[in-house]
Amino acid sequence: MAHLNIGSVIFPDIDQVDLSGPHEVLSRLPDSTWRLYARTVEPVTDMKGLRFLPDATLEEAPQLDVLHIPGGFGVDAAMQDPILVAWLRRQAEGAQLVFTVCTGAILLGATGLLRGRRATTHWASHHLLPLIGAIPVDERVVEDGPFVTAAGVTSGFDGALRVAARLRGEDVAQGIQLYMQYDPEPPFSAGSPAKAPQRVVDTARNAFAPVVARREAALRTIAAKFPS
């Protein structure tokens, strides 16, 4: 069994569940190491004020076997950081698997590596996937070759278990799921726009609208740089 170097990239205003959910799963894989990488080793603050301490800078990272990219509102600034985007592209090209959660797929897409690939992301940004050349798929987890993309936030648990099964087999993945007692019974059927009451969906879409508009503008600028 070959040792696995697993690494998450973190940046300001990530959604912490996009990070901590997959960590709960993948940090339990046998014969593996999980590390956090960022532009500096200063604490990184998530969207709601939770702070994470990077293990090392981007430059200090080895070639990772598994690259994990969380999402969050900070994706908009991160995808316009040429140093970060270039690092993500180098790491993704050499990794066995690349795993994104939520709008982490949008950040990966800024590298150009999702062009022609099936992918998913958070429902509020799902319609933006074609701007980065991705083929949008309305599923909770989508696998396309070495790329595994999970939809919004809690989908990271599902995606991480899929990654665990690919790397260490289904028995290991199921054992981790059992340890976590991951057997959700949500109190409401409101976890997707297709299920939530329309008034709830409308309120959420209105709240997201300014963020999505800025994200779309940034993506159009980035997409214009891709070769046709």
What is the b/e burial string over 101-125, where b = at least 16 CB atoms within 10 angstroms of the residue's CB? bbbbbbbbbbbbbbeebbbbbbbbb
**Average pLDDT over the chain, rounded to an integer:** 97
Task: Say what the pLDDT of residue 209 is.
Answer: 97
Task: Say what the pLDDT of residue 226 is.
Answer: 84
φ, ψ of residue 171 in degrees (nearest 5): -60, -40
Q: Is the pLDDT of residue 12 over 70?
A: yes
CA distance 68 to 66: 6
Q: Give the Cβ contact number of residue 183 at 10 Å.
A: 7
- The DSSP bridge pattern shows strands 51-52 and 44-45 to be antiparallel
CA distance 129 to 122: 10
Task: Say what the pLDDT of residue 221 is.
Answer: 93
CA distance 110 to 45: 22
Q: Is the pLDDT of residue 93 over 90?
A: yes
Q: Alpha-carbon torsion 202, 203, 209, 211, what sign?
A: negative
pLDDT tens-digit series, residues 25-61: 999 999 999 999 999 999 999 999 999 999 999 999 9
Q: Are the CB atoms for 19 and 80 separated by under 8 Å?
A: no
How far are the Cα atoms of 16, 115, 137, 188, 216 from residue 219, in angstroms, in the given order?
23, 13, 19, 34, 5
Q: Is the pLDDT of residue 1 over 90?
A: no
Q: Is the pLDDT of residue 227 over 80?
A: no
Residue identified by tokens 């057997």 is 183
- The DSSP bridge pattern shows strands 4-9 and 135-136 to be unpaired
Q: Would you give the DSSP letter of residue 41?
A: S
Q: Are the CB atoms for 44 and 38 separated by under 8 Å?
A: yes
Q: Which of 123, 126, 150, 148 lies closest to 136 in space, CA to CA?
A: 126
Task: Indicate which residues carry an active-site annotation.
Answer: 102
How many Å separate Cα 120 from the centre of its chain?
A: 10
Q: Is the pLDDT of residue 184 over 90?
A: yes
pLDDT tens-digit series, residues 149-182: 999 999 999 999 999 999 999 999 999 999 999 9
Mean pLDDT to the nearest integer, 97-108: 98
Mean pLDDT to the nearest integer, 65-76: 98
Task: Say what the pLDDT of residue 228 is.
Answer: 66
Q: Give the Cβ contact number of residue 219 at 10 Å.
A: 22
